[in-house]
Amino acid sequence: KNEDQSVTDRLHTICQLLKDKIDYYDWVGFYFKNEDKEELKLRTYVGAETDHVIIPFGKGICGQVAVSNENFVVPDVQAQDNYIACSFTVKSEIVIPLFKNGENIGQIDIDSETPNPFTEKDERFLEFVNQEVAKIL
Ligand code: SME
């Protein structure tokens, strides 16, 4: 196994842990930027299968975070106009950018089937997760 695959395996384990331990985390994935193509690519995830492996910068919640460098908490996905629906059961979403050496290189994306479940505690916790992840990249 090469280095990239072992990192992906570790990211997958983190997704699995988060989904298993936090009941309102129903889909957990990591997207990373491909700066050349100005798009995000899904590296690994746990949850329902998704068609959105590639997301252009600016599109959807994920694409917006790729350019804003800011957390995006969506209590009600139906109230968002720039939103890419994955599953009709998803009610809410949180996307936290992942910084390496101060640069936004990707993000953790979590979907929930619970309406409005995410608080500042989730933001602080997921910022911490991303900081730890940055160390293994
Ligand atoms: N809902 C996201 C698309 C990715 S799926 O949640 C896996 C968005 O609007 O960017």
ipTM summary value: 0.96
Distance 60 CA to ligand 1 centre (A): 6
Report field, pTM of the whole predicted structure over 0.95: yes
- Helix 3-21 to helix 120-136 angle (10° resolution) is 160
In this predicted structure, the answer to whether residue 81 has a pLDDT above a threshold of 80 is yes
CATH code, domain carrying 132: 3.30.450.40
Please give the structure tokens belonging to residue 65: 């975070």
Q: Put the strands of the sheet holding 92-100 in their side by side order.
A: 54-56, 39-46, 27-34, 103-112, 92-100, 72-74
Give the residue-averaged pLDDT of 41-66.
97
User: Does residue 39's CB lie within 6 angstroms of at least one atom of ligand 1?
Assistant: no
Amino acid at 27: W
| Residue 127: domain span | 3-136
d(CA 45, CA 30): 6
Q: pLDDT exceeding 90 applies to what percent of the chain?
A: 96
pLDDT band per the 50, 70, 90 thresholds, residue 2: confident
Return the pLDDT at 119: 98
Kind plus residue range of the DSSP H or E element containing 21: helix 3-21
Distance 51 CA to ligand 1 centre (A): 10
Count of structural domains, the chain: 1
SS3 4: helix
